[in-house]
């Protein structure tokens, strides 16, 4: 109520209110406009394209998956609770072994990758039991060495296929030949291997590489093309040795070894006392793609080659097997090597 003797004019009150609103507008309009502009500009940048996968993130979780799987492999072997059993026979008639290490590593690796990238197709050597599902989370952190060498790169999720080998060299694992054992993850985009991770559980060594990105491993600088050291599977050494010596000369060194991952590492500069060195890796029979995809990606990233024995590129889509054998090399004339080995292709389909 106004003091006695003073009458408030309706017009004056209206003018006063308008002045107050004007002051408030000038005080807050800049702030509100700035906040609105920030919202409009920042929202699109924060939103990732629907169905896209960042390959740098996928590399980071692939390294973690290989290490976590390797922890299971090592724990089972050191506890001597392998529970080994035959799961079938190879095309050559050899018994294929399955252990608790294979199964526990597979579960850990599969569910870590699936939880981080649910839209991506994952192919594994071992069957995934949905009744035994495990929740394995990833905090989306990226190791510093990957941050420094790899830039973010997005690709459509539907173009990606992940191949995991939860325990490479199972036969050698049962024989306690630990140096041959690896866990591996490979990422293929439109069938081409672009990310490879090879982890040695018993020495904690991990090699990784991304095509057109970077790597933490490099090729060796010295090779002998005239009398190369050829690394082959322990079970296939006899098939390769005679033809290899006829082709490259009697001084050719044949290195029998277990595990496809180990054989690829033999072509690289790996500072490991239990890692042999070779110039060429040859496999003359049918082989599964989860055995070779990671090694193929690492070699491609470093400028090397892994092809069938006739020189064809291996596609990592469709079936899980490669019928044409393989030959792998780096810093060598790969085409010339293929031309020297025409007879080996005949045995690759057996």
How many C-beta atoms surround the C-beta of residue 37 within 10 A?
10
pLDDT mean across residues, the chain: 84
Mean pLDDT calculated for residue range 119-134: 82
DSSP-assigned letters across all residues of 122-163? EEESSPP-GGG-----------HHHHHH----EEEGGGEEEE
Mean pLDDT calculated for residue range 277-287: 93
**Tokens 């490479």 correspond to what residue?**
168
Three-point CA angle 274, 175, 258, nearest 5°: 50
d(CA 246, CA 155): 46
Q: Which residues are registered as beta bridge partners of 157?
A: none
Q: Which residues are annotated as a binding site for Mg(2+)?
A: 125, 165, 167-168, 291
Q: Which residues are annotated as a binding site?
A: 125, 165, 167-168, 291
Closest CA to 329 of 230, 213, 259, 205: 230
**Which entry of 54, 90, 99, 102 is annotated as an active-site residue?**
102
d(CA 2, CA 6): 6
- Top-confidence residue, 174 or 241: 174
**Could you give the domains of the chain?**
52-216 (3.30.540.10), 219-340 (3.40.190.80)
Give the pLDDT score at 1.
Answer: 44
Residue 2 has pLDDT above 80, yes or no: no
Mean pLDDT calculated for residue range 307-335: 94
Give the pLDDT score at 274.
Answer: 83
Residue 255 has pLDDT above 70, yes or no: yes
**Which entry of 99, 161, 170, 182 is annotated as an active-site residue?**
170
Paired sense of beta strands 192-200 and 52-54, if any: unpaired
Three-point CA angle 87, 91, 97, nearest 5°: 25
Residue 211 has pLDDT above 80, yes or no: yes
With a CB cutoff of 8 Å and minimum separation 6, the contacts of 278 are: 228, 229, 230, 231, 255, 263, 266, 267
Mean pLDDT calculated for residue range 281-303: 96
Give tens-digit pLDDT for 213-246.
Answer: 999 999 987 787 778 899 999 988 887 887 778 7
Closest CA to 278 of 327, 312, 314, 319: 327
What is the C-alpha end-to-end distance of the chain, expressed in Å?
Answer: 106
Where would I find the beta strands (DSSP E) of the chain?
52-54, 85-89, 95-98, 121-124, 154-156, 160-168, 182-189, 192-200, 205-210, 214-215, 229-233, 253-257, 280-283, 287-288, 305-307, 321-322, 326-329
Mean pLDDT calculated for residue range 129-136: 69
Mean pLDDT calculated for residue range 149-176: 97
**Tokens 């090592």 correspond to what residue?**
74
Mean pLDDT calculated for residue range 163-181: 97
Give the pLDDT score at 300.
Answer: 98
E strand or H helix at 337: helix 334-340
Longest dimension (CA), the chain: 125
Residue 189 has pLDDT above 90, yes or no: yes
Q: Where does residue 80 rank: exposed (0-12), middle (13-18), buried (19+ CB within 10 A)?
A: exposed
Residue 103 has pLDDT above 90, yes or no: yes
Task: Report how far apart, in Å, the C-alpha atoms of 201 and of each of 20, 74, 123, 208, 309 are.
Answer: 73, 6, 21, 14, 30
Give the pLDDT score at 91.
Answer: 60
Q: Which two tokens stand for residue 297?
A: 């990606």
Q: Residue 102 catalytic?
A: yes
Give tens-digit pLDDT for 32-60.
Answer: 444 433 333 333 333 345 589 999 999 99
Give the pLDDT score at 86.
Answer: 84
What confidence category does residue 181 fall into, taking pLDDT thresholds of 50, 70 and 90? very high
Q: Which two tokens stand for residue 218?
A: 């490099």
pTM of the model: 0.83
Lowest mean pLDDT among 86-90, 204-208, 324-328: 86-90
Give the pLDDT score at 38.
Answer: 36
């Amino acid at each position: 109520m106004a003091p006695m003797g003073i009458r408030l004019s309706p017009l004056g009150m209206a003018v006063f209110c308008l002045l107050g609103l004007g002051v408030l507008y000038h005080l807050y309009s800049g702030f509100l406009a700035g906040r609105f502009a920030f919202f409009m500009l920042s929202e699109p940048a924060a939103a990732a394209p629907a169905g896209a996968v960042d390959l740098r993130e996928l590399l980071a979780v692939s390294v973690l998956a290989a290490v976590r799987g390797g922890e299971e492999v090592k724990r089972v072997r050191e506890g001597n609770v392998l529970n080994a059993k035959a799961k079938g026979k190879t095309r050559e008639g050899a018994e294929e072994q399955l252990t608790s290490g294979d199964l526990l590593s597979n579960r850990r690796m599969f569910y870590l990758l699936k939880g981080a990238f649910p839209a991506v197709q994952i192919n594994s050597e071992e069957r995934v039991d949905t009744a035994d599902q495990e929740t394995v989370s990833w905090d989306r952190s990226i190791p510093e060495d990957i941050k420094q060498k790899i830039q973010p790169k997005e690709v459509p999720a539907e173009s990606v296929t992940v191949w995991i080998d939860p325990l490479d060299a199972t036969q050698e694992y049962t024989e306690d030949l630990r140096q041959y054992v690896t866990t591996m993850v490979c990422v293929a985009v439109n069938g081409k291997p672009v990310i490879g991770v090879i982890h040695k559980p018993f020495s904690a060594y991990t090699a990784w590489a991304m095509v057109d990105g970077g790597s933490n491993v490099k090729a060796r600088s010295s090779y002998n093309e005239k009398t190369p050291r050829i690394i082959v599977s322990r079970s296939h050494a006899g098939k390769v040795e005679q033809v290899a010596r006829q082709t490259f000369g009697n001084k050719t060194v044949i290195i029998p070894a277990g595990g496809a991952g180990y054989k690829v590492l033999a072509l690289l500069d790996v500072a490991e006392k239990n890692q042999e060195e070779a110039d060429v890796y040859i496999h003359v029979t049918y082989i599964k793609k989860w055995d070779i995809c990671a090694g193929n990606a690492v070699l491609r990233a470093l400028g090397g080659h892994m092809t069938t024995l006739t020189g064809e590129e291996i596609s990592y889509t469709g079936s899980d097997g490669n019928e044409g054998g393989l030959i792998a090399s780096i810093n060598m004339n790969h085409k010339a090597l293929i031309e020297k080995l025409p007879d080996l292709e005949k045995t690759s389909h057996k």
